[in-house]
Structure 1
Amino acid sequence: MARDRKTESFTRAGLNLIQQALSIYDADLRLAVCNRPFQEMFGLPPHLVTPGARFDETLTYLVRQGEYGEVDDVEAFVQVRVDQALAFLPHYVERIRANGRAISVEGSPLPDGGWVTVYTDITATKRQEMLLRARSEELSDQVLTHTEELALTNRRLAATISQLQEAKAALTEMEARTRLVTEMTPAHIGHLDGNGKYSFTNKRLSVVLPGRANDIIGESFEQALGAEVAALLRPALARASGGDPSVQEFTDPESGRRIRTAFTPDEHADGGVYLLSTDVTEETQARTALEQTHKRELAVQLTSGLAHDFANLLTIILGLQARLEKLPLPHGAHELTGATRMAVRRGGSLLDKIANMTGARNMRAAPVVVQDFLDSFTPLAEATLPDGVSISVTNDLPHPALMLDAGTLQDGLLNLVLNARDAIGIAPGHIALKARSVLDTWLEITVSDTGRGFSKDALEQALNPFFTTKGDEGSGLGLTMVYDLVKLAGGTLRLSNTRDGACVTLRLPLRPAEAEARPRLILLVDDIPDIRTHVRDLLTDLGHQVIEAASSEEADSLADLPGLDWVLSDINLGGTDGVALLRSISMRQPALKLALMTSLPPDDPRYSAGADYWPVLRKPLDSAALMHLLALEAPQ
């Protein structure tokens, strides 16, 4: 504040040294600043040269002092000049004051509204012109008149040049700010003229669409974006060129990123269009996972009642079969009852698969060393293959570790390997599993085989429940389960045929993790020694250090230890409340990461009271659940 007053003092002193009078009024025509010559030239009282003084009051004072000579209607005279001032148009005028002195008045509007006006005493200049006229009888009146007009024109031209320079400086500053804003925006902003060529662009195209150039001024739509993407967007661009704005989402074939582009017609250029493109890949992944979750919830609602009734019917059928087999039956009847019993058991197995698909499933992403995961998966997959069928696993990922749900991914890949094995049949064949990164956006895993490939119907329907090409041996739920798991993770799955056989390509969001996470210091709170021992062993096997507490009182005293990262407490601590313990710790140590564990059902009030604030792990705990918990980066 002291520095502002000092700067203001320096500024005012500098303005006072100017020989010309100067005043600045804001957009509301209130005085912002003036110099001493302004007050002295017009003889203004102190209250009219104080910041905030009204323009109309100053003008009224000058009129009443005779500055403008005889004025019949003061209010009308003042109002006309107020209206002219509010128009904010630059002007230059010369007038003779009531005291006989001549002044020029040069007014220039400010970019944000308001006026800066410079008053110059030109009495000496006018006198020189009069002397020239009086003493130069040899000069014609026409030459003298032209000389005076030229002098006036020069003064007006100088004022105009000054105004243009000020306007140019303001426009340059505005353009620089606009350019800075567009470059800071995490999106590509561009403009296409009526000929479909870029006339403006920020330097963000390569960020949104990897592999494209940033310097695309003068290039066509196809040259800048590529023929394939341009073909996808051409209909929306044509509509915008005709005056119809639109928004389109598309997947970039090269990077696999999901892009949203808004097309806005340019009202000032015939056929011109503004484009705004943003990367919505993460939003799409989250939306895909949410949609799949809603589908699963709907499937649960639709199938739970049917499955219950179906299970009851199967139980009744099995009971009747058992009673029927105790009766004397004709020859061959026992084979029929045995086949019926096998069909009932197959129906029960089908119910289990439906329950696994529609039941609640939580994706638990945790740091996974990819090569270790693949090394452990390879022998598991080989054990399911017959002689003559081999498998190769290739890892081309640049990241050593990723955030993955290892159990879910293993189940899905094993299902794909089994499908590939069945497609190869008894003939010798090969299965290839490859993992790679797609422009640091997707983890892409392909499982290809040398089998007979997908039929036309399979390519169209294989992801639908109960579609199978295996006859009575297949349930038609294998690929559907893999598709469900991929969608829950926010990914995609695609079926195709290669020259040698079939190929399944799944893409999951690529989220790198540290290959070797920093060991955490964890306070473990549970009143049952055996449970503390089990959880402590799980945590130490993961490379973390553990401090144990058997009661809430002991834990509360240990929570202030320096270097502590996590507190993991049971909800029921021998009659005391683990939720209250964490609430007390969080008030003193807000940076600590807190979590609960329990065997209470989710509808228990104590469970919900803790889940509203912190993660709650269900007992019995396993390594995957703890890895997922400790991978969280921020306190809950």
Structure 2
Amino acid sequence: MPRAAATDHLTRAGLNLIQQALSIYDADLRLAVCNRPFQTMFGLPEDLVTPGASFEDTIRWLVENGEYGDVPQPEAFVRDRVEAARAFVPHYMERRRANGRTISVEGSPLPEGGWVTVYTDISAVKRQEELLRGRSEELSDQLLSHAEELARTNRQLEATIAQLEEAKRELTEMEARIRLTTEMTPAHIARVDRDGVYTYTNRRLSTLLPDRGSDIVGLSFEEALGPVAGRLRPTLARALEGEASVLEFTEPTFGRRIRTAFTPDQTGPGEPVTGVYLLSTDVTEEAQARAALAQTHKRELAAQLTSGLAHDFANLLTIILGLQGRLEKMPLPEGARELTGATRTAARRGGLLLDKIARMSGPIEIRPAPVVLRDFLDSFTPLARAPLPPGIAFTAQTDVPHPAVMIDADSLQDSLLNLVLNARDAIGEGPGEIVLTLRAVRDTWLDIVVTDTGPGFTEAALGQALDPFFTTKGDEGSGLGLSMVYDMAKLAGGHVRLENRPEGGAAVTLRLPLKPAAAEARPQLVLLVEDMAELRASVRTTLTDLGHQVIEAASAEEALTLAEIPGLDWVISDLRLGQADGVDLLNTLATRAPGLRLALMTSAPETDPRRAEGALRWPVLGKPIEAPWLARLFSREDAA
């Protein structure tokens, strides 16, 4: 807490401990500060004890609520009090209130204008004075001493009560602040006692487990969490023994990844544990990112391990093919040419296998972009049906509530084609059916399921089908198709599940992170700056195919003129514009039109100094320009 705020807090707490009511008004007759007894003594509403409250409004409220008894002319009374306040002079007075109690009012002016007034309830003192005056001759010295002692005790008791009230108020405010903080925390915070009964919760359980309620105080561990409780019980038991720990698990119904910290509630080392504090957070996106990063590291390691082997293997294949060629030129006995031909075919097949390994272990970048699911299925369906025999039907359907999502359409299309071809091979000539279904698992996962009516997976395939080089197709298969599908899913932060359906046939589920996107963006007016006509035409076609409008400029000078056209949304410029420079052009445009969105395109490597300089400020697209990259550029949240 800043020093000024802390000082203000201490000052107010101290004023509230004073038994007398206190108010300070400034020279403009506005309330500067008051303590709580001032409000409680006169029963004032909150707006009249808030700094800035008008003295006139306060007097009018007191008159209307009978503080001064029956006042024949209220407005004149208020006006007289206000005028007296403006010509303020020090004073002390005692007056009897309408409720029968007597108060003393002592006012003193302040050096810079305004005044401070102290109000003291002297009703008890007045009653004692009247009693003493009426019966002073009958009272003994002992009675007088008892009366004095009683008065002191009463004053001590009143001071204690005031302190307790102030402490109670501060505790209430502290509890409210803690409650507000815990409710705003994006996590479930709770406490269970030794019997496993919830004694506290911040009502955010349903954000982690949507099928559970949030009002769980008084419920047992199992009643509150349902099936998840069994997964957490052993860790809770260890926490009740004093062992703090963290558990990360996947919630089975909705597939969310949850991390829960268990902290024993004990006053100190060796003290008994009275309960356990639970802090649970949704780490689904973090887990997806971890899975994608781990898969990237695996790919890099695989590429390092296989690159050297593949190089040597390719050299061996070259030697084998060369030797076979030389053998075929020699006079060979009958049947030998058939053997050399088979050897040549096997060597070439080994070369194709090397190509597949290179594609699988080489650098691949997942490039998610906004994709309209219905359009994706409409374009994929003809591709899927093309290799199928007449006896096998293919259908595609979606019940995802979001029209568009962020996915890498090209990688997903390749993966789905792999699955469709595998299903075709499993069914044979038919009849049969392959169904592609897209569905959302809450707002966490996008499940893409390919089912078929074939014989299903064997036990060996269920356990090993995702492993590289495992195949059930004999010499016809490389064993890399499902591995590439698995690789794509893991790079996207998801995973793949294989299973046999109860009604027969196989099902392959690609579970990818569900990231909704805008289905239809407003067409953009784009100024395209490129000095090569052929490249300009190619990028223009890509932009117009995406539904955007394009204005073309062949030079930086022409671009500066066209950039003044009203309604322009984007400027996409080549890095090299003849003698000019795209970075300098965008710098000029950024100064002239700060709201204009800018991007660079180039074929220069990332190590190029000018490209690196431009990338510090704007998006940079590498050539050749592809439609998904442009779609992703226009969908960037930080580009708006």
Q: TM-score, normalised by structure 1?
A: 0.77
Worse-matched range after superposition: 180-189 or 265-274: 265-274
In structure 2, which of residues 294, 297, 301 is the aligned counterpart of residue 294 of structure 1?
297
Counterpart check, 1:469 vs 2:468: no
Structure 2, gaps ≥5 residues long: 24-32, 36-117
8 A Cα contact 2:246 2:262, kept in partner: yes
In structure 2, which of residues 443, 446, 449 is the aligned counterpart of residue 446 of structure 1?
449
Aligned-partner Cα distance in 1 for 2:140–2:491: 97
Following TM superposition, by how much is the alpha carbon of 1:20 offset from its aligned partner in structure 2, in angstroms?
A: 5.5
Residue 481 to residue 19, structure 1, CA distance change in 2 (3 Å): closer
Amino acid at match of 2:379: S
Worse-matched range after superposition: 563-572 or 149-158: 149-158
Following TM superposition, by how much is the alpha carbon of 1:482 offset from its aligned partner in structure 2, in angstroms?
A: 0.5
**SS of 1:453's equivalent?**
coil
Following TM superposition, by how much is the alpha carbon of 1:612 offset from its aligned partner in structure 2, in angstroms?
A: 4.1
8 A Cα contact 1:592 1:635, kept in partner: no
Equivalent residue for 2:208?
Answer: 208
Equivalent residue for 2:440?
Answer: 437
Equivalent residue for 2:545?
Answer: 541
Aligned-partner Cα distance in 1 for 2:331–2:137: 150
Aligned-partner Cα distance in 2 for 1:136–1:458: 113
Following TM superposition, by how much is the alpha carbon of 1:562 offset from its aligned partner in structure 2, in angstroms?
A: 3.7
8 A Cα contact 2:242 2:273, kept in partner: no
8 A Cα contact 2:19 2:159, kept in partner: no
Amino acid at match of 2:498: L
Aligned-partner Cα distance in 2 for 1:401–1:195: 48
Counterpart check, 1:521 vs 2:520: no
Equivalent residue for 2:220?
Answer: 220
Equivalent residue for 1:573?
Answer: 577
Equivalent residue for 2:349?
Answer: 346
Amino acid at match of 1:578: G
In structure 1, which of residues 602, 605, 610 is the aligned counterpart of residue 614 of structure 2?
610
**SS of 2:509's equivalent?**
strand
**SS of 2:638's equivalent?**
coil
Superposed, 1:258-407 pairs within 5 Å as: 258-268=257-267, 270-407=273-410
Q: How many residues align?
A: 534
Equivalent residue for 2:199?
Answer: 199
Residue 127 to residue 623, structure 1, CA distance change in 2 (3 Å): closer
Counterpart check, 1:599 vs 2:603: yes
In structure 2, which of residues 415, 422, 430 is the aligned counterpart of residue 419 of structure 1?
422
Aligned-partner Cα distance in 1 for 2:479–2:275: 52
Amino acid at match of 2:474: G
Structure 1, gaps ≥5 residues long: 24-32, 36-116
Q: Could you give the per-residue CA deviations for residues 293-348 of structure 1, whole angstroms, max 9, x where no partner exists? A: 22222222222222222222212211111111011111111111111111111111
Aligned-partner Cα distance in 2 for 1:425–1:334: 34
Aligned-partner Cα distance in 2 for 1:504–1:628: 29
Aligned-residue CA RMSD (Å) = 3.4
Aligned-partner Cα distance in 2 for 1:625–1:332: 56
Aligned-partner Cα distance in 2 for 1:463–1:369: 29
Aligned-partner Cα distance in 2 for 1:416–1:126: 98
Amino acid at match of 2:422: N
Following TM superposition, by how much is the alpha carbon of 1:156 offset from its aligned partner in structure 2, in angstroms?
A: 2.1
In structure 2, which of residues 554, 564, 588 is the aligned counterpart of residue 584 of structure 1?
588
8 A Cα contact 1:249 1:261, kept in partner: yes
Amino acid at match of 1:288: A
Q: Could you give the per-residue CA deviations for residues 9-66 of structure 1, whole angstroms, max 9, x where no partner exists? A: xx99xx9xx996989xxxxxxxxx999xxxxxxxxxxxxxxxxxxxxxxxxxxxxxxx
Equivalent residue for 1:245?
Answer: 244
Aligned-partner Cα distance in 2 for 1:123–1:201: 48
**SS of 1:255's equivalent?**
coil
Following TM superposition, by how much is the alpha carbon of 1:153 offset from its aligned partner in structure 2, in angstroms?
A: 2.9
Q: TM-score, normalised by structure 2?
A: 0.76
**SS of 1:276's equivalent?**
strand
Worse-matched range after superposition: 589-598 or 538-547: 589-598
Counterpart check, 1:625 vs 2:629: yes
Superposed, 1:89-238 pairs within 5 Å as: 141=142, 147-227=147-227, 229-238=228-237
Aligned-partner Cα distance in 1 for 2:561–2:263: 62
Amino acid at match of 1:549: A
Amino acid at match of 2:537: T
Following TM superposition, by how much is the alpha carbon of 1:252 offset from its aligned partner in structure 2, in angstroms?
A: 1.3
Aligned-partner Cα distance in 2 for 1:319–1:629: 50
8 A Cα contact 1:463 1:479, kept in partner: yes
Amino acid at match of 1:524: L
Following TM superposition, by how much is the alpha carbon of 1:461 offset from its aligned partner in structure 2, in angstroms?
A: 2.1
**SS of 1:634's equivalent?**
helix
Following TM superposition, by how much is the alpha carbon of 1:137 offset from its aligned partner in structure 2, in angstroms?
A: 6.6
8 A Cα contact 2:370 2:635, kept in partner: yes
Following TM superposition, by how much is the alpha carbon of 1:598 offset from its aligned partner in structure 2, in angstroms?
A: 2.1
Residue 34 to residue 444, structure 1, CA distance change in 2 (3 Å): closer
8 A Cα contact 2:438 2:447, kept in partner: yes
**SS of 1:519's equivalent?**
coil
